[in-house]
Structure 1
Amino acid sequence: MLVDTHVHLNAEQFFEDREETIQRAFDAGVTYMVVVGFDRETIPLAIEIAEQYETIYAAVGWHPVDAIDMTQEDLDWIEKLSAHPKVVAIGEMGLDYHWDKSPKEIQKEVFRKQINLAKKVKMPIIIHNREATEDIIEVMQEENAQEVGGIMHCYNDSPDYVQACLDMNFYISLGGPVTFKNATLPKEVAVQVPEDRLLVETDAPFLAPHPNRGKRNEPAYVKLVAEKVAELRETSFEQLSKITTENAFQLFHFE
Protein backbone atom coordinates (compact mmCIF):
# COMPACT_ATOMS: atom_id res chain seq x y z
CA MET A 1 0.00 0.00 0.00
CA LEU A 2 1.14 3.54 -0.81
CA VAL A 3 -0.03 7.04 0.09
CA ASP A 4 0.23 9.91 -2.38
CA THR A 5 0.52 12.72 0.14
CA HIS A 6 0.13 15.54 -2.39
CA VAL A 7 -1.95 15.37 -5.56
CA HIS A 8 -4.10 17.83 -7.48
CA LEU A 9 -6.92 15.64 -8.73
CA ASN A 10 -8.90 18.89 -8.65
CA ALA A 11 -6.78 20.30 -11.51
CA GLU A 12 -8.37 20.87 -14.90
CA GLN A 13 -6.00 18.29 -16.40
CA PHE A 14 -8.15 15.61 -14.73
CA PHE A 15 -11.58 17.00 -15.54
CA GLU A 16 -12.23 14.50 -18.33
CA ASP A 17 -10.90 11.30 -16.75
CA ARG A 18 -10.65 11.79 -12.99
CA GLU A 19 -12.51 8.57 -12.09
CA GLU A 20 -10.31 6.51 -14.39
CA THR A 21 -7.19 8.19 -13.01
CA ILE A 22 -8.22 7.38 -9.44
CA GLN A 23 -8.97 3.78 -10.37
CA ARG A 24 -5.51 3.40 -11.94
CA ALA A 25 -4.03 4.63 -8.68
CA PHE A 26 -6.02 2.12 -6.66
CA ASP A 27 -5.00 -0.63 -9.09
CA ALA A 28 -1.34 0.35 -8.60
CA GLY A 29 -1.65 -0.01 -4.82
CA VAL A 30 -1.97 3.71 -4.11
CA THR A 31 -4.75 3.34 -1.59
CA TYR A 32 -4.76 6.76 0.10
CA MET A 33 -4.40 10.21 -1.43
CA VAL A 34 -4.48 13.79 -0.18
CA VAL A 35 -5.97 16.24 -2.69
CA VAL A 36 -4.62 19.73 -2.15
CA GLY A 37 -6.75 22.83 -2.72
CA PHE A 38 -5.00 26.18 -2.87
CA ASP A 39 -7.46 28.85 -4.08
CA ARG A 40 -11.15 29.65 -4.37
CA GLU A 41 -11.64 27.26 -7.30
CA THR A 42 -9.60 24.24 -6.21
CA ILE A 43 -10.50 24.10 -2.50
CA PRO A 44 -14.21 23.18 -2.89
CA LEU A 45 -13.37 20.58 -5.51
CA ALA A 46 -10.70 19.00 -3.28
CA ILE A 47 -13.31 18.48 -0.58
CA GLU A 48 -15.90 17.26 -3.08
CA ILE A 49 -13.51 14.59 -4.37
CA ALA A 50 -12.60 13.55 -0.82
CA GLU A 51 -16.28 13.15 0.03
CA GLN A 52 -16.72 10.75 -2.88
CA TYR A 53 -13.97 8.29 -1.89
CA GLU A 54 -13.42 6.72 1.51
CA THR A 55 -9.60 6.78 1.29
CA ILE A 56 -9.14 10.18 -0.35
CA TYR A 57 -8.70 13.23 1.88
CA ALA A 58 -8.25 16.97 1.34
CA ALA A 59 -5.95 19.79 2.40
CA VAL A 60 -7.07 23.42 2.20
CA GLY A 61 -4.83 26.48 2.01
CA TRP A 62 -3.68 29.41 -0.09
CA HIS A 63 -0.85 29.21 -2.62
CA PRO A 64 1.89 31.84 -2.25
CA VAL A 65 1.81 32.78 -5.93
CA ASP A 66 -1.73 34.07 -5.36
CA ALA A 67 -1.08 35.55 -1.92
CA ILE A 68 -1.98 39.02 -3.18
CA ASP A 69 -5.53 37.81 -3.88
CA MET A 70 -6.26 36.37 -0.42
CA THR A 71 -8.72 38.27 1.78
CA GLN A 72 -9.66 37.91 5.44
CA GLU A 73 -12.86 36.27 4.22
CA ASP A 74 -10.78 33.62 2.46
CA LEU A 75 -8.81 32.96 5.63
CA ASP A 76 -12.03 32.67 7.64
CA TRP A 77 -13.39 30.30 5.00
CA ILE A 78 -10.33 28.06 5.25
CA GLU A 79 -10.70 28.01 9.03
CA LYS A 80 -14.33 26.95 8.70
CA LEU A 81 -13.46 24.21 6.20
CA SER A 82 -10.74 22.87 8.47
CA ALA A 83 -13.49 21.35 10.61
CA HIS A 84 -14.67 19.15 7.72
CA PRO A 85 -14.09 15.47 8.61
CA LYS A 86 -12.17 14.81 5.39
CA VAL A 87 -9.78 17.78 5.74
CA VAL A 88 -6.47 16.64 7.24
CA ALA A 89 -4.09 19.60 6.75
CA ILE A 90 -3.79 23.31 6.05
CA GLY A 91 -1.96 24.09 2.82
CA GLU A 92 -0.37 24.28 0.55
CA MET A 93 1.19 27.48 1.82
CA GLY A 94 4.67 28.98 1.77
CA LEU A 95 6.80 31.18 -0.46
CA ASP A 96 7.41 31.16 -4.21
CA TYR A 97 10.06 33.55 -5.50
CA HIS A 98 10.07 32.14 -9.03
CA TRP A 99 6.95 34.02 -10.10
CA ASP A 100 6.43 37.72 -9.41
CA LYS A 101 2.65 38.00 -9.15
CA SER A 102 2.68 38.48 -5.35
CA PRO A 103 5.34 40.64 -3.65
CA LYS A 104 7.56 38.79 -1.19
CA GLU A 105 6.32 40.70 1.85
CA ILE A 106 2.69 39.90 1.03
CA GLN A 107 3.62 36.24 0.55
CA LYS A 108 5.26 36.22 3.98
CA GLU A 109 2.26 37.88 5.59
CA VAL A 110 -0.16 35.33 4.12
CA PHE A 111 2.22 32.50 5.06
CA ARG A 112 2.36 33.69 8.68
CA LYS A 113 -1.41 34.00 8.87
CA GLN A 114 -1.89 30.43 7.67
CA ILE A 115 0.67 29.02 10.10
CA ASN A 116 -1.16 30.72 12.94
CA LEU A 117 -4.50 29.48 11.64
CA ALA A 118 -3.10 25.93 11.62
CA LYS A 119 -1.95 26.37 15.21
CA LYS A 120 -5.42 27.60 16.14
CA VAL A 121 -7.18 24.60 14.60
CA LYS A 122 -4.36 22.20 15.55
CA MET A 123 -3.65 20.81 12.08
CA PRO A 124 -0.39 20.06 10.26
CA ILE A 125 0.70 22.29 7.39
CA ILE A 126 1.93 21.60 3.87
CA ILE A 127 4.79 23.82 2.74
CA HIS A 128 5.33 24.98 -0.84
CA ASN A 129 8.85 26.29 -1.42
CA ARG A 130 10.31 27.59 -4.63
CA GLU A 131 13.61 29.47 -4.52
CA ALA A 132 12.86 30.72 -1.00
CA THR A 133 14.30 28.15 1.42
CA GLU A 134 16.04 30.44 3.90
CA ASP A 135 13.04 32.75 4.18
CA ILE A 136 10.71 29.75 4.54
CA ILE A 137 12.71 28.39 7.46
CA GLU A 138 12.98 31.83 9.07
CA VAL A 139 9.21 32.37 8.95
CA MET A 140 8.52 28.86 10.22
CA GLN A 141 10.89 29.37 13.15
CA GLU A 142 9.53 32.81 14.00
CA GLU A 143 5.93 31.57 13.94
CA ASN A 144 6.69 28.39 15.91
CA ALA A 145 5.51 26.10 13.13
CA GLN A 146 6.92 23.17 15.11
CA GLU A 147 3.77 23.33 17.23
CA VAL A 148 1.85 21.70 14.39
CA GLY A 149 4.55 20.25 12.12
CA GLY A 150 3.71 19.07 8.64
CA ILE A 151 5.32 18.38 5.28
CA MET A 152 8.04 19.98 3.22
CA HIS A 153 6.23 19.16 0.01
CA CYS A 154 8.20 17.86 -2.99
CA TYR A 155 11.52 18.68 -1.33
CA ASN A 156 14.02 19.59 -4.03
CA ASP A 157 16.63 21.64 -2.20
CA SER A 158 19.99 21.21 -0.53
CA PRO A 159 20.41 18.50 2.10
CA ASP A 160 21.91 21.26 4.26
CA TYR A 161 18.41 22.53 5.15
CA VAL A 162 16.87 19.16 5.99
CA GLN A 163 17.89 19.12 9.65
CA ALA A 164 16.29 22.52 10.31
CA CYS A 165 13.02 21.13 8.94
CA LEU A 166 13.29 17.94 10.97
CA ASP A 167 13.95 19.99 14.10
CA MET A 168 10.61 21.70 13.54
CA ASN A 169 8.69 18.43 13.45
CA PHE A 170 8.39 18.30 9.65
CA TYR A 171 8.36 15.36 7.29
CA ILE A 172 10.31 15.43 4.03
CA SER A 173 8.24 14.40 1.02
CA LEU A 174 9.91 13.37 -2.23
CA GLY A 175 8.29 13.47 -5.65
CA GLY A 176 9.12 12.95 -9.30
CA PRO A 177 12.42 14.91 -9.33
CA VAL A 178 14.11 12.19 -7.25
CA THR A 179 13.83 9.97 -10.36
CA PHE A 180 15.35 12.51 -12.77
CA LYS A 181 18.77 11.46 -14.04
CA ASN A 182 20.32 14.92 -13.52
CA ALA A 183 18.75 15.65 -10.12
CA THR A 184 21.43 15.12 -7.48
CA LEU A 185 19.93 17.04 -4.53
CA PRO A 186 16.74 15.01 -4.00
CA LYS A 187 18.76 11.81 -4.34
CA GLU A 188 21.07 12.94 -1.55
CA VAL A 189 18.09 13.91 0.56
CA ALA A 190 16.41 10.55 -0.06
CA VAL A 191 19.34 8.83 1.63
CA GLN A 192 19.70 11.38 4.43
CA VAL A 193 16.14 11.61 5.81
CA PRO A 194 15.40 9.37 8.83
CA GLU A 195 12.92 6.68 7.93
CA ASP A 196 10.32 7.97 10.40
CA ARG A 197 10.26 11.36 8.60
CA LEU A 198 10.02 10.22 4.98
CA LEU A 199 7.01 10.57 2.66
CA VAL A 200 6.34 10.20 -1.07
CA GLU A 201 4.04 12.12 -3.41
CA THR A 202 3.37 12.97 -7.04
CA ASP A 203 2.21 16.62 -7.11
CA ALA A 204 0.23 15.37 -10.11
CA PRO A 205 -0.47 16.57 -12.75
CA PHE A 206 2.97 18.17 -12.42
CA LEU A 207 6.51 16.73 -12.17
CA ALA A 208 5.90 13.29 -13.63
CA PRO A 209 8.67 10.85 -12.67
CA HIS A 210 10.98 9.11 -15.12
CA PRO A 211 10.18 7.52 -17.59
CA ASN A 212 7.08 9.73 -17.90
CA ARG A 213 8.87 13.05 -17.43
CA GLY A 214 7.24 15.80 -19.47
CA LYS A 215 3.88 14.03 -19.58
CA ARG A 216 0.88 14.46 -17.32
CA ASN A 217 1.62 13.06 -13.90
CA GLU A 218 -0.96 10.99 -12.01
CA PRO A 219 -1.16 9.40 -8.56
CA ALA A 220 -0.43 5.86 -9.80
CA TYR A 221 3.09 7.10 -10.57
CA VAL A 222 3.91 7.54 -6.88
CA LYS A 223 4.94 3.90 -7.14
CA LEU A 224 7.81 4.98 -9.43
CA VAL A 225 8.90 7.53 -6.83
CA ALA A 226 8.77 4.95 -4.05
CA GLU A 227 10.73 2.42 -6.13
CA LYS A 228 13.50 4.96 -6.76
CA VAL A 229 13.69 6.05 -3.12
CA ALA A 230 13.87 2.40 -2.05
CA GLU A 231 16.71 1.83 -4.50
CA LEU A 232 18.62 4.86 -3.24
CA ARG A 233 18.15 3.81 0.39
CA GLU A 234 19.13 0.22 -0.45
CA THR A 235 15.94 -1.20 0.96
CA SER A 236 13.03 -3.10 -0.53
CA PHE A 237 10.08 -1.43 -2.19
CA GLU A 238 7.82 -3.26 0.27
CA GLN A 239 9.67 -1.85 3.26
CA LEU A 240 9.74 1.66 1.81
CA SER A 241 5.99 1.46 1.16
CA LYS A 242 5.35 0.29 4.71
CA ILE A 243 7.46 3.08 6.24
CA THR A 244 6.01 5.93 4.19
CA THR A 245 2.44 4.70 4.68
CA GLU A 246 2.90 4.50 8.45
CA ASN A 247 4.36 8.01 8.43
CA ALA A 248 1.43 9.39 6.46
CA PHE A 249 -1.04 7.83 8.89
CA GLN A 250 0.93 9.23 11.80
CA LEU A 251 0.79 12.74 10.35
CA PHE A 252 -2.70 12.90 8.89
CA HIS A 253 -4.60 10.66 11.33
CA PHE A 254 -6.69 9.10 8.56
CA GLU A 255 -9.91 7.61 9.91
Structure 2
Amino acid sequence: MYVDSHCHIYFEGLVERLPELLDNMRSREVTHALCASVDLETFPQVLAVAEAAPNVYASVGVHPDHEHAAEPDVEQLVALAEHPKVVAIGETGLDYYRLGERTIADMEWQRDRFRRHIRASRACGKPLIIHTRAAAEDTLRLMREEHADQAGGVMHCFTESWEVAEAALELGFYISISGIVTFKSAAALQDVARRVPADRLLIETDSPYLAPVPYRGKTNEPSYVSHVGAFVAALRGVAPAQLGQTTTDNFFRLFSKAA
Protein backbone atom coordinates (compact mmCIF):
# COMPACT_ATOMS: atom_id res chain seq x y z
CA MET A 1 0.00 0.00 0.00
CA TYR A 2 1.52 3.29 -1.15
CA VAL A 3 0.55 6.94 -1.56
CA ASP A 4 2.02 9.20 -4.24
CA SER A 5 2.51 12.38 -2.22
CA HIS A 6 3.23 14.59 -5.25
CA CYS A 7 2.20 14.32 -8.91
CA HIS A 8 0.91 16.48 -11.76
CA ILE A 9 -1.60 14.23 -13.44
CA TYR A 10 -3.57 17.18 -14.77
CA PHE A 11 -0.72 17.88 -17.24
CA GLU A 12 -1.25 17.20 -20.92
CA GLY A 13 -0.36 13.61 -21.73
CA LEU A 14 -1.61 12.32 -18.38
CA VAL A 15 -5.03 13.88 -17.81
CA GLU A 16 -6.35 12.30 -21.01
CA ARG A 17 -5.41 8.91 -19.52
CA LEU A 18 -6.88 9.53 -16.06
CA PRO A 19 -9.07 6.37 -15.91
CA GLU A 20 -6.09 4.26 -16.99
CA LEU A 21 -3.82 5.97 -14.42
CA LEU A 22 -6.32 5.26 -11.65
CA ASP A 23 -6.60 1.62 -12.75
CA ASN A 24 -2.81 1.32 -12.74
CA MET A 25 -2.71 2.76 -9.24
CA ARG A 26 -5.19 0.13 -8.03
CA SER A 27 -3.24 -2.69 -9.65
CA ARG A 28 -0.06 -1.65 -7.83
CA GLU A 29 -1.74 -0.89 -4.49
CA VAL A 30 -1.23 2.86 -4.74
CA THR A 31 -4.25 4.01 -2.81
CA HIS A 32 -4.07 7.82 -3.04
CA ALA A 33 -2.27 10.67 -4.78
CA LEU A 34 -1.82 14.40 -4.26
CA CYS A 35 -2.06 16.45 -7.45
CA ALA A 36 0.08 19.56 -6.96
CA SER A 37 -0.67 22.96 -8.45
CA VAL A 38 2.01 24.99 -10.25
CA ASP A 39 0.05 28.15 -11.11
CA LEU A 40 -3.35 29.71 -10.64
CA GLU A 41 -4.14 29.66 -14.35
CA THR A 42 -4.29 25.85 -14.34
CA PHE A 43 -5.61 25.41 -10.80
CA PRO A 44 -9.16 24.69 -12.11
CA GLN A 45 -7.75 21.65 -13.93
CA VAL A 46 -6.02 20.47 -10.75
CA LEU A 47 -9.29 20.76 -8.89
CA ALA A 48 -11.21 19.00 -11.67
CA VAL A 49 -8.93 15.96 -11.41
CA ALA A 50 -9.27 15.87 -7.62
CA GLU A 51 -13.04 16.19 -7.84
CA ALA A 52 -13.22 13.39 -10.42
CA ALA A 53 -11.41 10.85 -8.24
CA PRO A 54 -12.19 10.34 -4.54
CA ASN A 55 -8.64 9.15 -3.84
CA VAL A 56 -6.91 12.17 -5.40
CA TYR A 57 -6.29 15.40 -3.49
CA ALA A 58 -5.15 18.85 -4.60
CA SER A 59 -2.91 21.70 -3.54
CA VAL A 60 -2.99 25.37 -4.55
CA GLY A 61 0.06 27.47 -5.28
CA VAL A 62 2.46 28.96 -7.82
CA HIS A 63 5.78 27.26 -8.64
CA PRO A 64 8.93 29.41 -8.43
CA ASP A 65 9.84 28.52 -12.03
CA HIS A 66 6.60 30.09 -13.31
CA GLU A 67 7.93 33.62 -13.43
CA HIS A 68 5.16 35.15 -15.52
CA ALA A 69 2.25 33.40 -13.80
CA ALA A 70 -0.39 35.41 -12.03
CA GLU A 71 0.90 36.42 -8.61
CA PRO A 72 -1.32 35.25 -5.76
CA ASP A 73 -1.87 37.21 -2.58
CA VAL A 74 -2.33 35.62 0.82
CA GLU A 75 -6.08 36.16 0.88
CA GLN A 76 -6.54 34.56 -2.54
CA LEU A 77 -4.56 31.47 -1.59
CA VAL A 78 -6.48 31.10 1.66
CA ALA A 79 -9.81 31.43 -0.15
CA LEU A 80 -8.88 28.82 -2.77
CA ALA A 81 -7.62 26.49 -0.05
CA GLU A 82 -11.09 26.40 1.49
CA HIS A 83 -12.16 23.79 -1.07
CA PRO A 84 -12.43 20.44 0.76
CA LYS A 85 -10.22 18.62 -1.76
CA VAL A 86 -7.37 21.12 -1.26
CA VAL A 87 -5.11 19.74 1.46
CA ALA A 88 -1.97 21.87 1.05
CA ILE A 89 -0.44 25.15 -0.12
CA GLY A 90 2.10 24.88 -2.93
CA GLU A 91 4.08 23.87 -4.60
CA THR A 92 6.11 26.90 -3.65
CA GLY A 93 9.70 27.70 -2.78
CA LEU A 94 12.84 28.93 -4.51
CA ASP A 95 14.68 27.84 -7.64
CA TYR A 96 17.95 29.52 -8.63
CA TYR A 97 19.01 26.78 -11.04
CA ARG A 98 18.31 28.75 -14.22
CA LEU A 99 19.52 32.24 -13.36
CA GLY A 100 21.00 32.90 -16.80
CA GLU A 101 22.45 36.39 -16.77
CA ARG A 102 20.62 37.31 -13.60
CA THR A 103 21.94 37.14 -10.04
CA ILE A 104 20.42 35.78 -6.86
CA ALA A 105 19.65 39.37 -5.92
CA ASP A 106 17.36 39.53 -8.96
CA MET A 107 15.25 36.73 -7.54
CA GLU A 108 13.53 38.89 -4.93
CA TRP A 109 10.24 38.26 -6.72
CA GLN A 110 10.64 34.55 -5.95
CA ARG A 111 11.35 35.28 -2.31
CA ASP A 112 8.31 37.56 -2.05
CA ARG A 113 6.12 34.86 -3.62
CA PHE A 114 7.47 32.22 -1.25
CA ARG A 115 6.79 34.43 1.78
CA ARG A 116 3.17 34.88 0.69
CA HIS A 117 2.69 31.13 0.42
CA ILE A 118 4.12 30.54 3.89
CA ARG A 119 1.82 33.21 5.33
CA ALA A 120 -1.17 31.68 3.55
CA SER A 121 -0.29 28.25 4.91
CA ARG A 122 -0.14 29.57 8.44
CA ALA A 123 -3.42 31.44 7.96
CA CYS A 124 -5.41 28.50 6.59
CA GLY A 125 -3.82 25.73 8.67
CA LYS A 126 -2.84 23.60 5.69
CA PRO A 127 0.79 22.45 5.22
CA LEU A 128 3.30 23.65 2.66
CA ILE A 129 4.72 21.75 -0.30
CA ILE A 130 8.19 23.22 -0.81
CA HIS A 131 10.34 23.05 -3.94
CA THR A 132 13.99 24.09 -3.57
CA ARG A 133 16.71 23.84 -6.20
CA ALA A 134 20.13 25.51 -5.97
CA ALA A 135 18.60 27.71 -3.26
CA ALA A 136 18.72 25.71 -0.02
CA GLU A 137 20.28 28.46 2.11
CA ASP A 138 17.68 31.07 1.20
CA THR A 139 14.86 28.52 1.36
CA LEU A 140 15.72 27.61 4.94
CA ARG A 141 16.30 31.25 5.87
CA LEU A 142 12.85 32.30 4.66
CA MET A 143 11.25 29.28 6.32
CA ARG A 144 12.73 30.44 9.62
CA GLU A 145 11.93 34.12 9.12
CA GLU A 146 8.31 33.41 8.19
CA HIS A 147 7.84 30.76 10.92
CA ALA A 148 7.09 27.96 8.50
CA ASP A 149 7.45 25.57 11.43
CA GLN A 150 4.03 26.80 12.57
CA ALA A 151 2.55 25.53 9.30
CA GLY A 152 4.56 22.37 8.70
CA GLY A 153 4.90 20.68 5.38
CA VAL A 154 7.17 18.68 3.13
CA MET A 155 10.38 19.25 1.19
CA HIS A 156 9.18 17.63 -2.01
CA CYS A 157 11.39 15.79 -4.52
CA PHE A 158 14.29 16.23 -2.13
CA THR A 159 17.75 16.36 -3.76
CA GLU A 160 19.76 18.35 -1.22
CA SER A 161 22.38 17.25 1.33
CA TRP A 162 21.76 15.50 4.62
CA GLU A 163 22.62 18.80 6.36
CA VAL A 164 19.76 20.52 4.55
CA ALA A 165 17.46 17.63 5.39
CA GLU A 166 18.42 17.93 9.08
CA ALA A 167 17.63 21.65 9.06
CA ALA A 168 14.22 21.01 7.50
CA LEU A 169 13.51 18.22 9.96
CA GLU A 170 14.34 20.59 12.83
CA LEU A 171 11.61 22.87 11.49
CA GLY A 172 9.15 19.98 11.66
CA PHE A 173 9.11 19.24 7.94
CA TYR A 174 8.86 15.91 6.17
CA ILE A 175 11.26 14.75 3.45
CA SER A 176 9.79 13.28 0.25
CA ILE A 177 11.88 10.99 -1.94
CA SER A 178 11.22 10.71 -5.68
CA GLY A 179 12.34 8.29 -8.38
CA ILE A 180 15.70 10.08 -8.54
CA VAL A 181 16.72 7.87 -5.63
CA THR A 182 16.80 4.87 -7.99
CA PHE A 183 19.38 6.46 -10.31
CA LYS A 184 22.95 5.14 -10.14
CA SER A 185 24.27 8.69 -9.70
CA ALA A 186 22.13 9.35 -6.63
CA ALA A 187 24.42 8.05 -3.87
CA ALA A 188 24.03 11.17 -1.72
CA LEU A 189 20.24 11.06 -1.98
CA GLN A 190 20.25 7.36 -1.16
CA ASP A 191 22.14 8.21 2.03
CA VAL A 192 19.47 10.77 2.91
CA ALA A 193 16.74 8.20 2.22
CA ARG A 194 18.39 5.83 4.70
CA ARG A 195 18.75 8.46 7.42
CA VAL A 196 15.40 10.29 7.43
CA PRO A 197 13.45 9.30 10.56
CA ALA A 198 10.71 6.83 9.67
CA ASP A 199 7.97 9.15 10.93
CA ARG A 200 9.08 11.98 8.59
CA LEU A 201 9.47 10.08 5.33
CA LEU A 202 7.27 10.39 2.25
CA ILE A 203 7.60 9.07 -1.31
CA GLU A 204 6.40 10.53 -4.59
CA THR A 205 6.65 10.40 -8.37
CA ASP A 206 6.54 14.09 -9.37
CA SER A 207 4.97 12.62 -12.50
CA PRO A 208 5.14 13.10 -15.42
CA TYR A 209 8.82 13.73 -14.58
CA LEU A 210 11.62 11.62 -13.10
CA ALA A 211 10.33 8.11 -13.69
CA PRO A 212 12.18 5.60 -11.49
CA VAL A 213 14.23 2.70 -12.75
CA PRO A 214 13.13 0.57 -14.65
CA TYR A 215 11.04 3.29 -16.38
CA ARG A 216 13.69 6.00 -16.43
CA GLY A 217 13.29 8.24 -19.49
CA LYS A 218 9.61 7.39 -19.90
CA THR A 219 6.55 9.31 -18.79
CA ASN A 220 6.10 8.90 -15.06
CA GLU A 221 2.76 8.16 -13.39
CA PRO A 222 1.51 7.63 -9.83
CA SER A 223 1.55 3.82 -9.98
CA TYR A 224 5.33 3.95 -10.33
CA VAL A 225 5.64 5.21 -6.76
CA SER A 226 5.58 1.51 -5.85
CA HIS A 227 9.06 1.23 -7.39
CA VAL A 228 10.27 4.19 -5.37
CA GLY A 229 8.85 2.60 -2.23
CA ALA A 230 10.43 -0.78 -2.90
CA PHE A 231 13.82 0.82 -3.57
CA VAL A 232 13.72 2.96 -0.43
CA ALA A 233 12.59 -0.07 1.60
CA ALA A 234 15.65 -1.99 0.41
CA LEU A 235 17.91 0.93 1.32
CA ARG A 236 16.46 1.01 4.82
CA GLY A 237 16.41 -2.76 5.28
CA VAL A 238 12.66 -3.06 5.76
CA ALA A 239 9.94 -4.87 3.89
CA PRO A 240 8.18 -2.90 1.11
CA ALA A 241 4.86 -3.41 2.89
CA GLN A 242 6.27 -1.81 6.05
CA LEU A 243 7.68 1.15 4.09
CA GLY A 244 4.34 1.53 2.34
CA GLN A 245 2.37 1.54 5.57
CA THR A 246 4.77 3.96 7.25
CA THR A 247 4.73 6.49 4.40
CA THR A 248 0.95 6.18 4.04
CA ASP A 249 0.48 6.90 7.74
CA ASN A 250 2.85 9.85 7.44
CA PHE A 251 0.92 11.24 4.47
CA PHE A 252 -2.38 11.29 6.30
CA ARG A 253 -0.79 12.69 9.45
CA LEU A 254 0.78 15.58 7.55
CA PHE A 255 -2.14 16.23 5.18
CA SER A 256 -4.68 15.92 7.93
CA LYS A 257 -7.46 17.45 5.83
CA ALA A 258 -7.30 14.49 3.44
CA ALA A 259 -10.25 12.21 4.08
Q: TM-score range by the shorter chain?
A: over 0.9
Q: Kindly state the Cα deviation for residue 40 of structure 1 after the two structures are TM-superposed.
A: 2.7
- What amino acid is aligned across from residue 39 of structure 1 in structure 2? D
Query: Does 1:141 find its partner at 2:144?
Result: yes
Q: Kindly state the Cα deviation for residue 54 of structure 1 after the two structures are TM-superposed.
A: 1.2
Alignment of 1:82-231 (within 5 A): 82-100=81-99, 103-231=106-234
- What amino acid is aligned across from residue 53 of structure 1 in structure 2? A
TM-score for both structures, normalised by structure 1: 0.95
Unpaired stretches in structure 1, ≥5 consecutive residues: none
Residue 181 of structure 1 aligns to a residue whose secondary structure is coil
- State how far apart, in whole Å, the 2-side matches of 1:46 and 1:26 are: 21
Residue 204 of structure 1 aligns to a residue whose secondary structure is coil
Alignment-derived partner of residue 24 in structure 1? 24
- State how far apart, in whole Å, the 1-side matches of 2:60 and 2:71 are: 15
Alignment-derived partner of residue 53 in structure 2? 53
Alignment of 1:233-248 (within 5 A): 233-248=236-251
- State how far apart, in whole Å, the 2-side matches of 1:108 and 1:193 are: 27
Unpaired stretches in structure 2, ≥5 consecutive residues: none
Give structure 1 regions of 4+ aligned residues with deviation exceeding 6 angstroms: none
Q: Which deviations, in whole Å up to 9, do the C-alpha atoms of 1:11-33 show, x marking residues without a partner?
A: 11213312211211122111110
> Is the 1:92–1:127 contact (alpha carbons within 8 Å) kept by the matching residues of 2?
yes
Residue 161 of structure 1 aligns to a residue whose secondary structure is helix
Q: Kindly state the Cα deviation for residue 121 of structure 1 after the two structures are TM-superposed.
A: 0.7
Q: Which deviations, in whole Å up to 9, do the C-alpha atoms of 1:25-73 show, x marking residues without a partner?
A: 122111110001111333111111111111110011010012453335x
- State how far apart, in whole Å, the 1-side matches of 2:15 and 2:138 are: 35
Residue 165 of structure 1 aligns to a residue whose secondary structure is helix
Among 246, 250, 255, the alignment partner of 1:252 is 255
- What amino acid is aligned across from residue 123 of structure 2 in structure 1? K
- State how far apart, in whole Å, the 1-side matches of 2:23 and 2:75 are: 34
Query: Does 1:15 find its partner at 2:15?
Result: yes
